Amino acid sequence: LTAPLPEPDLSAACGPPARQLIPVTGKKSSDKKPAPPSSKHTLVTATPETTSIVFGMQNRAVQGMLDFDFMCKRKRPSVEAIVFPFSGNHYVKFYWGTEEILMPVYTTNAEAVKKHPKVTVFINFASFRSVYETSMEAMTHPSIKTVAIIAEGVPEQQTRELVQVAEERGVGMIGPATVGGIKPGCLRIGNTGGMLDNIVMSRLYRPGSVAYVSKSGGMSNELNNIVCRNSDGVFEGVAIGGDRYPGSRFLDHFLRYQDDAGAKMLLLLGEVGGMDEYDLIDAVKSGRITKPIVAWCVGTCASCFATEVQFGHAGAQARGDEETAAAKNKAMKDAGFHVPDSFDKLPEMVGQVYIQLVEEGVIVEQHEGETPQVPMDYTWAKKLGMVRKPANFISSIADDRGEELTYCGVTISDVFAKEMGIGGVLSLLWFRRQLPPTCTKFIEMILMVTADHGPAVSGAHNTIVTARAGKDLVSALCSGLLTIGPRFGGALDDAAKMFSQALDSGV
């Protein structure tokens, strides 16, 4: 019998996996080819000063971006404004660390870009029904250099038109059907990287040496984990989306990584369908890309089926022998890529190439610093059972403890659902029970009668105060009458002018 496994210690905080620095005794020789001259790129690499505009009221995604910024020690948030056409201009509260900040919300892209001229990234959360128009409009503004389209199901004809316009105007595009991209220490697009605990576990708060490109957004999270556990971390990662006509291709990003000194090794996760991997193979054979590439194409199981299989992505279907995952893996291996025998060997392959680069002196490892902390939202912490909060207000008739406010034991949602009205609410608060409809209607009738000139208006208030002070009736009445003016809903001043004019004119 197998001995039972010991219970894990869950008392300590969970952090990123610990890694030991690779011992380097001497620098090994390298047969690496000299880097070719760099070229101009449509896609602009993000910096710690890069800022964006988010289209759509995606509060959770924006808060995740701000938390990432705070964790990366950015000086200011990466989101400057939100565009939401279905409400007027207003402000929305977000957290910047422990402080609250106000973010402007505009109804049009034009107004947002005009008031925030330094923004270069447009993150479009619009649905597939309106993403074409909003993205086209965003690309008309010269300051926008990168457009990320999150929506799935964008018609292929519209995608091709978007790609064509983006190329004509020199705008880089990520998506459609993408989760976005992430550059540790600089910028996080949307929900890339998952929850904050996953950001910490994958050490995405500071740059590493491995730059990757994936079609799948979900698998990009797996790549973050693989890279973190087998190297010094991610330098940059992009999920280009799984549609047949993505806004940017593998080659676009890998050429940019080749020309960036911070990216030391490259990682590709392709898939069955399409020919983009062969463009990358040609770039390696021609010497345009010289950095080591670890690569794998998923979908090798398609050969087990009698007919061609359509996987989850729109472009994940082989339309010829060259588009199969097995053919691509073989072609990449023949071209000098580091291709494992199967996907489960990919982490090992990443680790081997990384160790080789460290031993050659291409990568110089640094000691890991302190893991940054980001305050947890109260709502989330309460769901996890990590905090408890005393009630702000407790009485015998109202109670704000728990998830919902209650009036004499009746939840506020039931008050609205049963249409109790003002009379029903007052019966719960004042009489501590739900009165019959005749009584609640009488309460509402009293409120309607006294709503305009009740005992709390300034004139009546001064009359009551004067009378309680011991003055005579006339003095108390004059005290109230002389207070009434146009500002208080009365017409005494105008009436006095009319009487005065009538007296002077001898009427």
The set of catalytic residues is: 313
Reported as type and span, the H/E element at residue 93 is strand 90-96
Q: How many CB atoms lie within 10 A of CB 189?
A: 27
Q: What's the CA gap between 297 and 315, in Å, rounded?
A: 13
Amino acid at position 448, single letter: M
> 3-state SS string over 298-337?
ECHHHHHCCCCCCCCCCCCCCCCHHHCHHHHHHHHHHCCC
Q: Measuring CA to CA, which residue among 179, 176, 223, 219 is closest to residue 204?
A: 223
Amino acid at position 363, single letter: I
Four-residue CA torsion sign, 275, 279, 280, 285: positive
Strand pairing report for 52-55 and 121-124? parallel
Our CA dihedral for 202, 204, 210, 212, rounded to 10 degrees, sits at 90
Four-residue CA torsion sign, 464, 466, 469, 473: negative
Burial class (CB in 10 A: 0-12, 13-18, 19+), 16: middle
Strand pairing report for 146-149 and 121-124? parallel
**Which residues on neighbouring strands pair with residue 95, listed in sequence order?**
100
**Do 263 and 236 form a contact (C-beta atoms < 8 A)?**
yes
Strand pairing report for 99-106 and 79-83? parallel
Strand pairing report for 79-83 and 52-55? parallel
**Do 425 and 461 form a contact (C-beta atoms < 8 A)?**
no
Termini Cα distance of the chain: 116
**Do 248 and 256 form a contact (C-beta atoms < 8 A)?**
no
**Do 70 and 57 form a contact (C-beta atoms < 8 A)?**
no
Number of C-alpha atoms within 13 angstroms, CB side, residue 334? Answer: 9
**Which residues on neighbouring strands pair with residue 148, listed in sequence order?**
123, 174
Cα separations in angstroms, 205 against 14, 114, 484: 16, 31, 63
